[in-house]
Amino acid sequence: MQVKNVLFDFGDTLVQASPEYSQDTCLLCLVNSLARNSISVSLENVKRAYEAIYKEIHARNSLREVTYDVVLSRTLSLCGHFLNPSDKAIAEAAEAFMECWIQAKTMEKSVPSLLRTLRKKYSLGVVSNLAYSPAVRKTLERFGVANYFDAIIVSADVGWRKPSPKIFKKALKTMGIAASETVYVGDELDHDIEGAKKVGMHTILLKRPTTNMAASSVKPDVLMNEWKELPKAIQTLCKR
C-alpha cells in the first residue's frame, strides 16, 4: 500500500498531562475569572457541579459533542447562576480554565523533530476529541508544532466525537485525501483505532502502560511502544 497522509490523536498521543496537573487548579482559575465578572461561586460547589454535569454527559453514551460553553453554562446553573452559553463571562471562564490546562501539557522530546521529518514526506493532520477547540491549536503552538499540520479537526467544531466516522470523514474531506492512503496514529483502541478503521484508514496504536489489548476486539494494523518506532511502523504498512 501507499501512505501519503498521517493523522494523529491529540491527548495522550501528541501530548500528555503533566504529573503535576490538577483539575482543581484549573477550576480555581475558572472561579477567579467568574469573580472578575461579579459571579461568586466556591471551588467546592463548582467542582461538585462540574463533575455532575460530565457524569450526566458520559452516562448518555452519545457520540454527540457537548461544547465547553454549554458545559460551563449548565455547571453554573447548578450553582444558582443562569448564564447563556454565549455570555462573555462563560467565554472568559472557559479560556481561564483551558489556559491552565494547556500549561499542564507535556510533549515527549522526540516528537517535534519526528513531526518535522514526517512533514517532508506526508501530509499531517490531527483528529481530536475536545469540547473546546482553541485549546488544541494553542497547545500545539506552545510546542512549536502547529504549523506542521495541514488540518486540526476537533470534535467541538464537528459536533461528533471519536469513534464516530463523521469526525474522521471531516478530516479526510478537509484535507482532500483518501482513507486508503492514510494512517491514523492513536493510543486508544475503542476511540482511535476503531473509529479510523470504520472509514477505511490504516491504523497504528501507540501502546501505553494502561493499554489493555485483551479488553477490546479492535486490533490495530501495527503496534508501537514508543514514538521513535513510528517511521518503521509506517514502513511496515507500506510493505503490505
pLDDT tens by residue, 194-240: 999 999 999 999 998 888 887 788 999 999 999 999 999 999 998 77
Provide the mean pLDDT of the chain: 95
Q: What are the pLDDT digits (tens) for 113-123? A: 999 999 999 99
Please report how the helices 23-36 and 88-103 are oriented relative to each other, as an axis angle in degrees rounded to 10.
150
Tell whether the model's pLDDT for residue 17 goes beyond 80: yes
pLDDT per residue as tens digits for the range 145-154: 999 999 999 9
- pLDDT of 85 over the 90 cut: yes
Q: What is the pLDDT of residues 18-30, one digit of tens each?
A: 988 999 999 999 9
Average pLDDT over residues 172-187: 98
Predicted local distance difference test score (pLDDT) of residue 20: 85
Stretch 39-54: mean pLDDT, rounded? 97
CA torsion angle 171 177 183 189 (round to 10): 30
Residues 91, 97: Cα–Cα separation, whole Å: 10
What proportion of the chain, given as a percentage, has pLDDT over 90? 90
Identify the pLDDT of residue 232: 94
What pLDDT is attached to residue 212?
80
Asked if 152 and 146 count as a contact pair (C-beta separation under 8 A), the reply is yes
Question: For the residues 81-93, what does the mean pLDDT come to?
Answer: 98
Predicted confidence (pLDDT) at residue 175 exceeds the cutoff of 80: yes
pLDDT for 1 beyond 90 = no
Residue 210, pLDDT score: 82
Apex 29 CA angle, 26 and 33, nearest 5: 145
* Structure confidence at residue 216 (pLDDT): 81
Mean pLDDT confidence for 167-194? 97
CA 104 – CA 16 distance, rounded (Å) = 9
**Which pTM does this prediction carry?**
0.95
Q: Yes or no: is domain 5-17+106-238 CATH 3.30.470.10? A: no
Sign of CA dihedral 228, 116, 153, 178: negative
**128: pLDDT confidence band, cut at 50, 70 and 90?**
very high
